[in-house]
Homo-oligomer: A and B are copies of this chain.
């Protein structure tokens, strides 16, 4: 990737004299900042803009590290082939006319792929805006030459954007709107060869890059992406386009249907500590905040103090903090005493620290003093500071900056007030490295992203691979198709997952005997090959209370199945909670484990979480903690709490199963009943390819 990020020589194929052409702008942009050799290529010119121009890349006498191509799409494959022959390290193809434009374009893109695979040349794009390095002032892009005057600032946020022309333009243009300093902006277009992982890997080692924001419409290699995220402590923010597009497919199992709508992606990102953004500017706001505060406080807590000049704004902040899972700091006696010296005597000190009456009584300087006090307080991890456009505030910045640096507190500002004053405040705040926002919710949301403990760089202790003999046993059970409940649970049992006690009965007498052995009540089920929804087919009989009844139900089920299936007798569990656990193969992430609420709640409240297998025990515990309905797990209404370790172990085993058996397409344990805290698989369907 060095040829893209640190080339010594650049050829511009399609360089043009016509200022309205992209090929002209690329040359201008490269010339303006790049310090190495520049070779324009255009068979119709001998010279452009004072540089010798070549008819073909083959004619360039020196070695070319990087070629930037901006010729019509149909000419691109030939040009790229020449580059490969000439030994060019990498090519940024900014031309459009590939997979985004129908059959012909798709074929052309396939051709590029073959060239890359065959020759080893690295291809970036096509259909992209290339690469901007704001520190080196490399603009390997056809963007307007005015981006610097427009406001592009060198900074510590790097951006990676998939998608074509306009979507990439967003981010270039976001940069021009101010406030966010950019390290590198990489528009990777159709990703014929270089993908987000290649670029991300480079950026992780880039000293100028403190935070990486990615806008992606697809992830080329989910597992490599996760591994990269896992091994860095740099904050990564992802805005994923096209989430709703995947939910449409018909899904056979709950697990598969819950996996739509970006569930696996969200789970994978959470698993490796990536922040998920949901809108364009919001992504930029998260990036610039996390560049300033790349690590959550050491305390591991989220105790926020709110410093405000308005009771109402303080309450609104407290509401948002609560909504976003932040904690209002409980101010210590010392802190209260210090603050109370600023307050009028009648007013009790509280958090939000409302300073209006104090300023009214003792002048605006109390606002500065209160900030110092809460920053110094050990019980405060972060300060949400309301800038009200007080004229005096502009003079306090140097001291504020010092306080933030010396106390290590996370300080984020909300900016509201007269335009004329605010512009100055905003500028000074940025100089002092205090992220400020115009919307209160956004300020609080960015603070929440900083305070969130992102579990990155975890040592992975995936030390429970399936043992050899278990694997052998499994192979004998894995015949292609939709396996029936009993067979499915045999697989689960072989993988050390607790399953309910059950046995196939061959006759009414045997059913009665088994039921008596298990103890009443029992459940009896008719298993017909290929029938997933037994309940809908009337093949489930609950609460069978006697041996005679068991015998009767055997006859009844046999008749209902017309002799085609078998009858299963099962111990009936008394359960305090119903869960679903499953495994799917995600096209981007591979085997992924699902955990959700069961029963009616599964379908109505969609409370489910995903994680990509294999899982460590600790990861599985964190996955459980991501479920919304934590109350239900913690011994709700006097029920026993769920044994989280046992549940985590089931998730680990399910993930291991998925990794060990590639033919295992899907597992759906529904329900996983929790009885006296212990989770047990009661019904299950395994689908084998």
Contacts and interface: CB of A to CB of B under 8 A. Distances in A.
Interface in A379-424: 388-389, 416-420
Interface string A141-171: 0001010001100000000001111110110
Contacts of A150: 418-420
Interface string A440-479: 1100000000000000000000000000000000000000
A101 B632 CA distance: 45
A215 B417 CA distance: 16
A245 B439 contact: no
Interface of A: 96-97, 100-104, 144, 146, 150-151, 162-167, 169-170, 173-174, 176-178, 215, 217, 241-245, 278-282, 309-313, 315-316, 318-319, 322, 344-347, 356-357, 360, 388-389, 416-420, 438-441, 536, 600-601, 603-605, 629, 631-632, 636-638
22 contacts: A97-B360, A101-B344, A102-B345, A102-B347, A102-B357, A144-B418, A146-B420, A150-B420, A164-B356, A165-B360, A166-B313, A167-B310, A173-B417, A177-B419, A241-B315, A243-B315, A244-B319, A244-B322, A279-B316, A279-B441, A601-B601, A605-B605
A280 B346 CA distance: 30
A163 to B, nearest CB: 4
**Listed residue (A281, A315, A636) with the most chain B CB atoms within 10 angstroms of its CB:** A315
A418 B600 contact: no
Given A346-B101, A419-B177, A388 B169 contact: yes
A280 B604 contact: no
Contacts of A282: 439, 441
A439 B346 CA distance: 44
Number of copies: 2
Chain A interface main SS type? helix
Given A217-B312, A536-B638, 18 more contacts: A100-B311, A100-B356, A102-B344, A102-B357, A151-B419, A163-B310, A164-B310, A165-B309, A166-B313, A173-B416, A176-B418, A241-B312, A243-B319, A244-B315, A280-B439, A600-B637, A603-B637, A605-B605
Given A281-B438, A357-B101, A636-B604, A163 B311 contact: yes
A94 B259 CA distance: 58
Nearest to A170: B416
Contacts of A344: 101-102
B315 A217 contact: yes
Contact of A419 (B173, B441, B603): B173
Nearest to A389: B173
Given A244-B322, A310-B166, A315-B242, A346 B103 contact: yes
B356 A166 contact: yes
Contacts of A536: 638
Given A163-B311, A356-B166, A346 B102 contact: yes
Q: Please list the 7 inter-chain residue pairs (A to B) with the smallest Cβ-Cβ separation, ordered nearest first.
A: A102-B346, A241-B312, A166-B310, A167-B310, A242-B315, A167-B312, A163-B312
A282 B316 CA distance: 13
A242 to B, nearest CB: 4
A233 B311 CA distance: 32
**Listed residue (A104, A166, A176, A319) with the most chain B CB atoms within 10 angstroms of its CB:** A166
A440 B280 contact: yes
